Amino acid sequence: MPRAPKAVQTPAAADKKAAPAAKSAPQKALEKLNLRRDIDLALHLPLRYEDETRIVKLAEAREGDTAQIEGEVTAQEVAYRPRRQLLVTLNDGTDSCVLRFFNFYPSQQKALAVGTRVRARGELRGGFLGWTMMHPHTRSASGELPTALTPVYPTTAALPQAYLRKAVLAGLKRAELSDTLPPEVAATLKLRPLWTLKQALEFLHHPTPDVSLAHLEDHTHPAWQRLKAEELLAQQLSQLQSRREREHLRAPVLRVNGTGSLHERLLAALPFELTAAQRRVCSEIASDLAQSKPMHRLLQGDVGSGKTVVAALAATICMDAGWQCALMAPTEILADQHFRKLVGWLEPLGVRVAWLTGSQKKKERTAMLELIARGEAGLVVGTHAVIQEQVQFRNLALAIIDEQHRFGVAQRLALRSKTQDEAVEPHMLMMTATPIPRTLAMSYYADLDVSTIDELPPGRSPIVTKVVSEQRRDEVIQRIRGQLEQGRQVYWVCPLIEESEALDLTNATETHAELSAALPGVLVGLLHSRMPVAEKKAVMSLFVGGQMGVLVSTTVIEVGVDVPNATLMVIEHAERFGLSQLHQLRGRVGRGAAASACVLLYSTGDAPRLGETARERLKAMAETSDGFEIARRDLDIRGPGEFLGARQSGAALLRFADLTEDSHLLAWAREAAPLMLDRHPALAERHVARWLGSRTDYLKA
Ligand code: ADP
Ligand code: MG
């Protein structure tokens, strides 16, 4: 095995055995990077490589190359212009090069004394005075050149590269690296050469210099492909395992009950016909509920596509069978909207709906808890309060989570544990208005079944979106007057509620004052996240009731608010919002038959133009109102890491594989996973443990 070249400085701590109690800073940094086990170290792969295997002759060098040169020091001086610096002239027999150091120690001056032979590595710059290198790495020219490329690992400030390199290479040596891919599975990968994992890892940590650096660095080299395939396989295996485990769990069988059932009566009482898409997803859900294993289904549908009624219909199936249902929403405003809507639909049919929230009075809460425990409340609606420990259901069978990406894994697990009998799990229905692009759905949500509402209820007119500079604010206010004169209502959304030192944003309070002054005789309301809940509700009900013409708000209205008479949405500082957030906000209008519009007000501040990504986001908004297309563009703009980061706390993201570039490997992993689990269960288990370690719980929730 080729040896890595010795680094310039070797941290003393690396060799000494630290006392168990006192961990050194680099050790702590290792743990922080999750580099605990030997295998974790072995799987910590280089970001790039430095080629210290060859010496470049200055006569053959090209400007801008990062190169290693070797020669004799012919001059050394400390210059003071423009500031104190050490200048060392190196001659390699073909030409000379000046090494320039702004920060230097006496020891360096000594090591670079005239007459010594030195190797220097850095970026070569040409120029009037000949070659120069700024702050090159230097070492004495004694000893042989390394035969492998020098790996450079991703690290943090607290973890010196040399220390990390040593730790990784030691971990690689100790790690148990026998293959977990049985030959029949590995063969389907079609990689040439088909190396073992051990060979691939050893190669990636010490590649020979004849390899194309480009293939290593863009991860198309077969060794990289092998690693990425293994990683994707681990993820697919872990999701398949949890799906199969769930298949062994029991859940109450909930069947549609025929004539006279709540379900039928709700359908008959609705003031509208379900769309074909709603009917389709309802029947997908109904057939899951009729099974004796728990449903685990994601219902995705654009803003305004009518997910709430689907949730209500699912709840009736559950209650018809004599079981309780819970619906949880991420904010109190949203939970409150659901509560009102569901009470409106279900109480006339004789259903008791309980309400649970953190801001509730103790007395009301106690009463609700009793209703729930005795089973008198068939449906429980609320915020996070629904999963608190004191909440005891008599017989929970269906848990519905709205805007599921806003809930963490722990919260979803807590809901699942709310059943009386440990062996029985509730059915889970998760709803989201931000659709997940297909490749992500296939990888991160592989153990979810997905239902999609892909049409909006009829009679909605499309929303016209305009991107407008802050300088034309007056015209926007004029437009608001026009809408108000037609009896319509208007949302105005601001990003922050108070002046922040860092961001000079117009705050909601100021805008509220400005609009109140500009629109005499119109009730202009203000809603922001720091208001007491009772006040928020009072403001909301004035707006819902139509008495309030304009609602100025921070993003609390981001999800779920449903006021069909609102036809204009103004978003101030639109450049500060994320794409899916903008889309959600825009979805607050266009809910009735009247034409609606969305104005994205942007400000460039002191900058001459908007930044690149902000411009792309606003452009996407103006060009499409299709949530799926928006999600696809969002993924393009942000990349999967960030895209998912926002929605899935604690999830182990893929470290190596890139879902857009490696879709062929993802397809392979999806086929290989069931085969591995069926025919080689022990290897499958080792594979998952190796790759995911302790993180598997997160993936299962
Ligand atoms: P979201 O999917 O964003 O949660 P909602 O469930 O709030 O959407 O529905 C948006 C509006 O459309 C609500 O006023 C709802 O009552 C109405 N709605 C739902 N389904 C239909 C339908 N099939 N026909 C007409 N209106 C509908
Ligand atoms: Mg909704």
Q: Which of 360, 312, 303 is nearest to 561 (CA)?
A: 303
Q: What DSSP designation does 195 have?
A: -
Phi/psi of residue 238, nearest 5 degrees: -65, -35
Give SS3 for 535.
Answer: helix
**Between the CA of residue 19 and those of 31, 38, 239, what are the distances in Å?**
16, 20, 40
Residue 151: strand pairing partners: 49
Q: How far is CA 657 from CA 313, 453, 601, 661, 669, in A?
A: 40, 30, 38, 8, 12
Structure-token pair, residue 680: 């080689």
258, with CB counted inside 10 A (0-12, 13-18, 19+), is: exposed
Give the chain's domains with CATH numbers.
Answer: 54-145 (2.40.50.140), 296-433+447-453 (3.40.50.300), 463-624 (3.40.50.300)
DSSP 460-511: PPPEEEEEEEGGGHHHHHHHHHHHHHTT-EEEEE-S-SS--SS-----HHHH
Whether the CB of 194 sits within 6 Å of ligand 1: no
> Three-state SS across 219-278?
CCCHHHHHHHHHHHHHHHHHHHHHHHHHHHCECCCCCCCCCCCHHHHHHHHCCCCCCHHH
24: which residues sit within 8 A by CB, 6+ positions away? 13, 18
Question: Quick one: tokens of 53?
Answer: 């295997």
Count of positions (residues) in the chain: 701
DSSP 8-state class, residue 424: B
Q: Return d(Cα 183, Cα 177) in angstroms, integer.
A: 15
| Buried-state track 603-641, b at ≥16 Cβ within 10 A, e below 16 | beeeeeebeeebebbbebbeeebebbebbbbbbebbebe
What is the SS3 assignment for 304-327? CCCHHHHHHHHHHHHHHCCCEEEE
Average pLDDT, consecutive stretches of 10 residues, N- to C-terminus, the chain (701 residues) = 39 45 81 86 90 89 90 94 90 94 89 94 84 91 85 84 92 94 90 87 90 83 93 88 82 87 95 96 97 91 90 97 94 84 95 92 94 95 88 93 69 72 84 73 72 87 91 95 95 70 59 93 87 83 93 69 89 87 87 89 83 89 87 74 44 68 88 94 93 57 41
Regarding the beta carbon of 301 and ligand 1, being less than 6 Å apart is answered yes
Contacts of 590 (CB under 8 A, 6+ apart): 304, 460, 461, 462, 463, 567, 596, 625
CA–centroid distance, 302 to ligand 2, in Å, is 9
The helix/strand/coil state of 14 is helix
pLDDT at 640: 56
For the chain, counts of helices (H) and of strands (E): 24, 21
Helix (H) / strand (E) element for 597: namely: strand 596-602
Q: What pLDDT was estimated at residue 647?
A: 41
Q: Is 550 in a helix, a strand, or coil?
A: strand
CA gap 462, 459 in Å, rounded? 10
DSSP3 helix / strand / coil % (the chain, rounded to 5): 40, 15, 40
Cα–ligand 1 centroid distance for 341 (angstroms):
11
578 lines ligand 1 (CB under 6 A): no
Q: Is 275 in the pocket of ligand 1 (CB under 6 A)?
A: yes
Burial of 204 (0-12, 13-18, 19+ CB in 10 A): buried
Residues, Cβ < 5 Å to ion ligand 2: 560
Q: Among 270, 275, 308, which residue has the most ligand 1 atoms within 8 Å of its CB, making it the best to mutate? A: 308
Question: What local confidence, expressed as pLDDT, does residue 448 receive?
Answer: 78
Residue 91 is predicted with a pLDDT of 96
Q: Give residue 484 CA to ligand 2 midpoint distance, Å.
A: 26
Count of C-beta atoms within a 10 Å radius of residue 586: 26
Q: What is the pLDDT of residue 697?
A: 45
Residue 237 contacts residue 180 (beta carbons within 8 Å): no
Give distance in angstroms: CA of 560 to centre of ligand 1: 10
Cβ of 330 closer than 6 Å to ligand 1, yes or no, is: no
Ligand 1 atom closest to Cα of 274? Answer: 23
Dihedral angle, C-alpha 326, 331, 336, 337, nearest 10 °: -100
What's the N-to-C CA distance of the chain in angstroms?
42
Alpha carbon nearest to ligand 1 atom 17, residue: 306
* Cβ-contact 118, 89 below 8 angstroms: no
Please choose from 309, 341, 430, 461 the residue to mutate so as to test ligand 1's pocket, defined by most ligand atoms within 8 A of CB: 309
Instruction: Return the pLDDT at 87.
Output: 94
Give me the phi and psi of 155, to 5 degrees please: -150, 180
Ligand 1 pocket member 433 (CB < 6 A): yes
Ligand 1 atom closest to residue 402's alpha carbon, by position in its atom list = 4
C-beta atoms surrounding 25 within 10 Å: 13
Q: Which ligand is nearest to the CA of 327?
A: 2
Find the ligand nearest to 342 CA.
1
- For every residue of 337-400, DSSP letters joined together read HHHHHHHHHHGGGT--EEEE-TTS-HHHHHHHHHHHHHT--SEEEESGGGGSTT---SSEEEEE
Ligand 2 centre to CA of 364 (Å) is 26
CA distance 52 to 137: 11
Cα(297)–Cα(280) distance, integer angstroms: 14
Q: Whose CA is nearest to atom 24 of ligand 1?
A: 457
Q: Is the CB of 591 under 6 A from ligand 1?
A: yes
State whether the beta carbon of 303 lies less than 6 angstroms from ligand 1: yes
Q: How many angstroms separate the CA atoms of 392 and 382, rounded?
A: 14
DSSP secondary structure string, 47-84? SEEE--S----GGG--TT-EEEEEEEEEEEEEE-SSS-
Is the C-beta atom of 452 inside 6 A of ligand 1?
Answer: no
How many angstroms separate the Cα of 445 from the Cα of each of 297, 386, 400, 652, 701? 10, 25, 17, 12, 10
Closest CA to 460 of 542, 562, 557: 562
349 Cα–ligand 2 center, Å: 22
Amino acid at 258: G
* CA 310 – ligand 1 centroid, Å: 9
